Chain A
């Protein structure tokens, strides 16, 4: 029976590894929504990669019933949120679909950067926040410390916070009771015109796009003609229902306050943008829900198959991934050095890594990914303003009157003992110090304004290694700032290798250029002639190394008519050739590009 007062819509928010997915599993298990034996570890993360990384990439939602101690049965909708800074917008949309958020704090680690970022976002969305202290089974757990941090740092009361162990299934009921008692029932009127928020979607090859919605007002029924208010697309609803743990449960309609899905033979996932408002064509709501943003890629890179003949496979794979990830954008790109590939845009570095890994793992592709780039804003001498994310399109410096680069506000929470080295590191990465707060005696939050291009360049990994893995990072874009930028080119044998060009701050050009030519020298196998490797800005060479000519590559002996060795060698050469990129008479194995493009150390 539909009773809006018995609905509770909530999210679980947490820093990575603080136990979000485990708690979700326990809630489902406790209410009997799933049998324990059916529970794959961490049900809500249903992509392999997520499970491996212990993070949730895409939001998922599930509805389950809970018979509370007051004797009433409540319909709970748990809306999962992506746990990474790259997906901030998606998190905010998921939170908009809720009235409350369970904020998990690890009793051994306390409040972390993403705990804070997500908590603030929940506050901004007027959600009721229910702190929960997790991992109390661990010997190093300090529940009082964790509660104190929630009160001091986030500023919400935590005295009554349930202290649980999601892993051991301890005190799960307390969490459910809290949800029922503290999370407000949704407001909304099923009689009003339909106003529903899209917070996720995925592509199903039979049904088309399955759209996850939260109905704010009105009623959505099978057969309705709906319109997406921002994209303008119209569809006839084929199916509506609620979200079971493993299934889509068909219903006749979804009413105000409810969370569920609909399908409408939608072919293109781009028509169902997260944050868009769904309404009825015949009885539209006057205003869409606020806060809609089109997901903007912030990081770009070229993706090429290591074996040039796999271009078609790469195209298919990207298209398949895009079916479920509208934030992934790509277009064909041709590189002189790397042949045919794609220029792809990502929400952030993690998003890029995930796509890269999925391409390699799920589609068995071997890829060369060029150095990540951000979008630069260039004011040309004729006053025109252009945006450049691809070094190949970088105009002649003579034509640029002002170069600007994107800046983010970065929040880093680190144990106090590393404050010095983190500050030095931020300074090295051209950060501007804004603020520092001691969260408690052991941890500090540093606020810096940083160029995004420094963040995409291996920032997080280096930060982690400088703090023995303890620091956490969150960032948000705050606009463009004037900067001294140059395009750095790499030349092999005097020929420009377009795929290795990148845009860099002038002060860093020399050291990066130096590093790259050294790496190339070490990774390009000797050729039959001496090979100069140069880094240049404009026509000016700023660094040079030489790959010496090969002096020995011979089988001295072909003994007793045994030529198998010689033949094996030829086979090996043939195999290698497939992964060889040639320009002019120079041949460079894909591996050399990979080694150079993989910036695994500081520079």
Chain B
């Protein structure tokens, strides 16, 4: 039996279906991320788990118990919000103690637990401060401690890093993950940031327009996208137009240069024009000897980004971006220079549906 189960969840607001046929089983201690663009239904799904929204159809079970119609305060769920949501009238210690007081714990037990939690978030000396005296990162850590203090069955994180600056975001994301691992708490994380999702999760649920597009480990979702949306939403992607020459062997032509596509979504019909996807990091410059697909093009743009050099290579109608590491011994090619780019057939993925 899985620890958290969502079965056939649907949410309808008037004529709009915002979540449809959502099925997910989460193991105890697993870190699952809902990833998708704004309005894809990820936050609504999270709110249904929390009990702030009631599903129009389907069931939610936690540790085997049906909680679908339970009130939020009866679910024993910890939640961290994007806007911190600390109680402004209470000190840090009082904020962390709030859920424990609600649970009717003794003052000694509360004091001990608050101390533990402040140690966990590395803010032991901040107990007497008010939220307005803390930075955004500190406030979010207190919010995390407050949510964890009650030893929730499931921890829900609703874009907790979105309001923070880049540096704090990075360090807090590592902190959250290591805390989650050490406590072994089942966690659902909502984000629209693919980097966060890829770096933190055991599994990712990619959502679009209220539907689950794909559920899988970050490696799987990134390298083996099952739908066109997942391919284009997760990671940077070059999308090219190619014409199928021989569907059986995967031979296609891109701007009259023949290559082999090792992977395809759906069958290939000879003569049809399809979109093909290629990750920038799969492409190497002037390395044709090692890889089986090679194409000639001209350097259209070179951007020096420090550790990385980003180049844009144009074939004829199509162009691709590729990144190479900066090498002080080998300056990047000039604009207009003819180059050969190469990649493995397995890196070329023919997408489903029409070309765009």
A, B assembled together = no
Binding site for A on B (CB under 8 A): none
